[in-house]
């Protein structure tokens, strides 16, 4: 399927999808599917059409395509997450998936606690007419937002620790299993008095991570002492303050599991300000495996959630479903325990 000499002469002019279809001897709809990265085109046909597109020097007009679709070529990331590293990693993953496409990423931070939270997101969508929205925790956990977005006929993908939507709209993480692994690790090291710093109670991940942690402790015949539980805000400062409170007990914990790496980093600072060595005097475990975990000294033992990969998968799912693909099972990301130097056997002296 190569262009004839007179067709090649049209390069530099206004080459249209009709021109591509005529030269490639396919329908206009098939050309459109290739341009829009639809999975429903045979690979041989796709390559032939791309070859013709290159020969004729055709450049799709994003504005014209957006007008035809009634949507922009923007993917919106709507988030209310106090961990900046989580948000950055999520952005990177989405941008990975959008590389070599016409799509661009636009960010919309929000505050889920505000009474007009849903209306704010809908106004954002009305103004920008995004191709679709990606909703990480905790906005993904708001059923009223998902319902409003669906009612407005806006495509979306949620990322959540429990099954709260159908496979076309959800990336599923098993936070409980990840925190269970952290509990088993500390128990195997001989720790018995273990503190836990959890995130905001409005986050579903907070409850899933605590549930998994208690389940992992129970496997070793241990229970989580309520006196050794402190609430944080998934921020560095809240992790530091919560650790100070835990260390103020007459019998301090020998290990702490924090609900994310930001709070665990705060625990590092509080422990050192109290004159404790990590891990000789106290073991610390985080959750997420953000880059800071490997840069601290000593390196932080943490539960790895592949946040960048999750963002990449969410963007791809959004584009695939918009192009007609359907999933029968959820995309899942299983957490892994990454053991570094911040945990050690409990001292018996």
Average pLDDT, the chain: 88
Q: What is the pTM of this model?
A: 0.74
Architecture of domain 68-173+307-334: 3-Layer(aba) Sandwich (3.40)
For helices 204-219 and 175-188, the axis angle rounded to 10 degrees is: 40
Domains 68-173+307-334 and 175-305 agree in fold: yes
98 has pLDDT over 80: yes
Taking 70 as the threshold, does the pLDDT of residue 7 lie above it?
no
68 is written with which tokens?
């035809």
Local structure of 61: helix, strand or coil: coil
Q: What are phi and psi of 325, to 5 degrees?
A: -75, 150
71 versus 36: the higher-pLDDT residue is 36
What residues does each domain of the chain span?
Answer: 5-57, 68-173+307-334, 175-305
pLDDT in tens, 16-35: 778 888 888 888 888 877 77
pLDDT at 190 over 90: yes
CATH number for 5-57: choose from 3.30.230.10, 1.10.260.40, 3.40.50.720, 3.40.50.300: 1.10.260.40
Tell which residue, 276, 208, 277, 264, has the closest CA to residue 237: 264
Q: What is the DSSP string of 4-21?
A: -HHHHTTTTS---HHHHH
> Which CATH code is given to the segment(s) 175-305?
3.40.50.2300
Tokens of 250: 């007459």
Q: What is the largest CA-CA distance in the chain?
A: 89
Q: Tens digit of pLDDT for each residue in 163-181?
A: 999 999 999 999 999 999 9
The structure tokens listed for 290 are: 């953000």
Residue 103's pLDDT band (cuts 50, 70, 90): confident
Instruction: Check: CB of residue 195 under 8 Å from CB of residue 228.
Output: yes
Pick the range with the lowest mean pLDDT from 5-14, 73-82, 191-200, 216-225.
5-14
Confidence of residue 246 (pLDDT cuts 50, 70, 90): very high
Spatial CA neighbour of 282 closest among 202, 344, 189, 215: 344
Residue scoring higher pLDDT (19 or 342): 342
- Is pLDDT at 64 greater than 80 in this prediction? no
Q: How far apart are the first and last CA of the chain?
A: 79
Residue 1 clears pLDDT 70, i.e. is over it: no
**Position 10 confidence tier, pLDDT thresholds 50, 70, 90:** very low
Q: How far apart are CA 263 and CA 285, in angstroms?
A: 10
Of the listed ranges 18-27, 120-129, 195-204, the one predicted with least confidence: 18-27
Q: Which of 197, 234, 221, 184 is nearest to 83 (CA)?
A: 234
The answer on pLDDT for 60 being more than 50 is yes
pLDDT of the residue at 62: 55
Coil vs helix vs strand at 257 = strand
Alpha-carbon distance of 157 to 104, in angstroms, equals 16
């Amino acid at each position: 399927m190569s262009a004839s000499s007179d067709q090649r002469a049209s390069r530099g002019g206004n080459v249209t999808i009709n021109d591509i279809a005529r030269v490639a001897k396919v329908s206009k709809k098939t050309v459109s599917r290739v341009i829009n990265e639809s999975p429903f085109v045979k690979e041989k046909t796709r390559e032939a059409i791309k070859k013709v597109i290159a020969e004729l020097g055709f450049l799709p007009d994003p504005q014209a395509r957006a007008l035809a679709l009634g949507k922009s070529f923007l993917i919106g990331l709507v988030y209310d997450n106090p961990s900046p590293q989580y948000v950055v990693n999520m952005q990177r993953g989405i941008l990975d998936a959008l590389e070599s496409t016409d799509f661009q990423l636009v960010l919309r931070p929000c505050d889920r606690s505000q009474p007009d939270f849903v209306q704010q997101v809908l106004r954002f969508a009305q103004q920008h007419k995004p191709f679709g929205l990606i909703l990480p925790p905790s906005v993904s956990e708001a059923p009223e937002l998902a319902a409003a977005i669906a009612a407005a006929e806006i495509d979306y993908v949620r990322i959540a620790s429990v099954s709260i939507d159908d496979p076309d709209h959800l990336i599923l993480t098993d936070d409980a299993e990840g925190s269970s692994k952290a509990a088993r690790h500390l128990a195997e090291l001989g720790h018995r008095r273990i503190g836990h710093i959890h995130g905001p109670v409005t986050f579903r991940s907070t409850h899933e991570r605590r549930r998994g942690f208690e389940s992992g402790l129970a496997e070793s015949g241990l229970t989580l002492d309520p006196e050794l539980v402190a609430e944080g805000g998934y921020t560095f400062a809240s992790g530091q303050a919560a650790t100070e409170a835990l260390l103020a007990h007459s019998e301090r914990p020998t290990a702490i599991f924090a609900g994310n790496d930001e709070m665990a980093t705060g625990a590092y600072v509080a422990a050192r300000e109290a004159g404790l060595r990590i891990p000789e005097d106290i073991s610390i475990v985080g959750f997420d495996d953000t880059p800071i975990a490997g840069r601290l000294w000593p390196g932080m033992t943490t539960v790895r959630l592949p946040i960048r990969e999750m963002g990449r998968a969410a963007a791809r799912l959004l584009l695939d479903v918009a192009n007609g693909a359907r999933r029968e099972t959820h995309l899942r990301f299983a957490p892994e325990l990454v053991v570094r130097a911040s945990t050690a056997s409990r001292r018996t002296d």
